[in-house]
Amino acid sequence: MKDNIITSAVIIGAGIFGVSTGVQLARRGVRVTIVNDGPPANGASGRSLSWLNSARMRSEPYHRLRMAGIDRYRTLASRFPGADWLRFEGGLTWDADGERNEIDAAYRYETSIGYDAKHLAAQDIASVTPGLDARSVTAPGAIFNPGEGWVDLPILIGLLLEEFASLGGTLVTDQGAAKVVVEGGRAVGAETAAGNRFAGDVVLLATGPAVPKMAAESGQVIGDDTPIALLVQTKPLAHPLRAVLNTPRVAVRPGPGSTLSIDADWAADEGVTIREDGSYAIDASVVDALVAAASKVLEGNPKLEVASVGVGGKPIPGDGEPVLGALKAIPGYYVAFSHSGATLGLIVGELLACEIATGAEHPMLATFRPERFSSR
């Protein structure tokens, strides 16, 4: 670092936040090394439903950030017209029957902030978006959000890494767990379990669900509410579904090559246990039940075949809001930890790179600073 100008950076984590930020820094002429424990996208980015949205209710700053994130994906989509890994064909959601059904309230809130939404009865959905078994929709109806979409993060990360390499960036994989090196009270690089050390003017910690624990190794507090997530990907099948479905029992989104991605919180809760060595055991009967739930909401109730099952932590901060920016107690140390990694992936990389390269805080990240946890 010369005269407070950042010339080099080390990023721990090759998921969407790490790679997006790495590309943005490389575009600014910063020499960047990305270090990952395994291959790129081997963590939360590889098992994300990757629904691009700002549906339902959240804080105004978080909504603005998510909308900016969607905007960047629309710009990207214009560069790749017809891509089968990034689509904007809407999202459809409904709630279970009963007192907890919030569809009407959610619709009124979304329209009050200008979020494109249509409140539809079950019999009207087919005229708006195909592929649904309308019998599964509850009496209060569903919300269709035409502006929502989805992305395949592993494919996107691969494309970003191609640009990263063309800009002179260095990707180092299969290093095992890494830690941030702090010397003289400042972050100066990363050291991996493989015994290699990488130096940089700044370090970005972007290891998904591992961020809070790794930050704690340097005495920093980041609230953590990370659950276990389970994502099933199907073998290809011909089906008309285009929108992302978020239903009381299952979430389903289309994917490249006529595949489907499927998840549900209950499936992870009931079907995954953590062994003593930290690995995961998956109950096959729960996977079968999840796949059956997906078939039930799809037109024709097709037979779905499992291609792969991904399991691991789903990054969620303790208060649900993103954790982004510098750890002010340790100069040169930055973090990126958030739910909605897909929706935020491009915009977070852009804004973090701006902060890292210039040293100036971006106003859109003002409420997401890590220090909010240590000050409580």
Q: How far apart, in Å, are the Cα atoms of 194 and each of 9, 95, 138, 197? A: 20, 48, 53, 9
> 176 and 109, same structural domain?
no
> 238 and 123, same structural domain?
yes
Q: Compute the distance between CA of residue 227 and CA of residue 192 in angstroms, rounded to an integer.
A: 26
Contact 128, 143 (CB under 8 A): no
pLDDT digits (tens, 9 = 90+) for 218-244: 999 999 999 999 999 999 999 999 999
Q: Compute the distance between CA of residue 103 and CA of residue 269 in angstroms, rounded to an integer.
A: 25
Domain assignment of residue 184, yes or no:
yes
Domain assignment of residue 51, yes or no:
no
Question: Which residue range forms the structural domain that includes residue 27?
Answer: 8-46+153-223+319-374
Structure token digits, residue 138: 């509850």
> 140 and 239, same structural domain?
yes
Q: Looking at the 3D structure of the chain, how many domains does it have?
A: 2
Contact 173, 38 (CB under 8 A): yes
> 177 and 216, same structural domain?
yes
Specify the CATH number for the domain of residue 210.
3.50.50.60
Q: What residues have CB less than 8 Å from 189, skipping those under 6 apart?
A: 10, 180, 181, 197, 198, 199, 200, 203
> 140 and 243, same structural domain?
yes
Q: Compute the distance between CA of residue 116 and CA of residue 147 in angstroms, rounded to an integer.
A: 7
Domain assignment of residue 292, yes or no:
yes
Domain assignment of residue 76, yes or no:
no
> 209 and 111, same structural domain?
no
pLDDT digits (tens, 9 = 90+) for 341-351: 999 999 999 99
Structural domain ending residue among the three candidates 313, 335, 354:
313
- Report pLDDT for 5: 83
Domain assignment of residue 82, yes or no:
no
Instruction: Report if pTM > 0.85.
Output: yes
Domain assignment of residue 58, yes or no:
no
> 324 and 309, same structural domain?
no
Percent of the chain at pLDDT exceeding 70: 98
> 204 and 187, same structural domain?
yes
Among the listed residues 285, 272, 260, the one whose alpha carbon sits nearest the alpha carbon of residue 227: 272
Strand partners, 32: 9
- Report pLDDT for 236: 98
| Residue range 196-200: mean pLDDT, rounded | 97
> 272 and 139, same structural domain?
yes
> 162 and 269, same structural domain?
no
Domain assignment of residue 130, yes or no:
yes
Structure token digits, residue 144: 């269709």
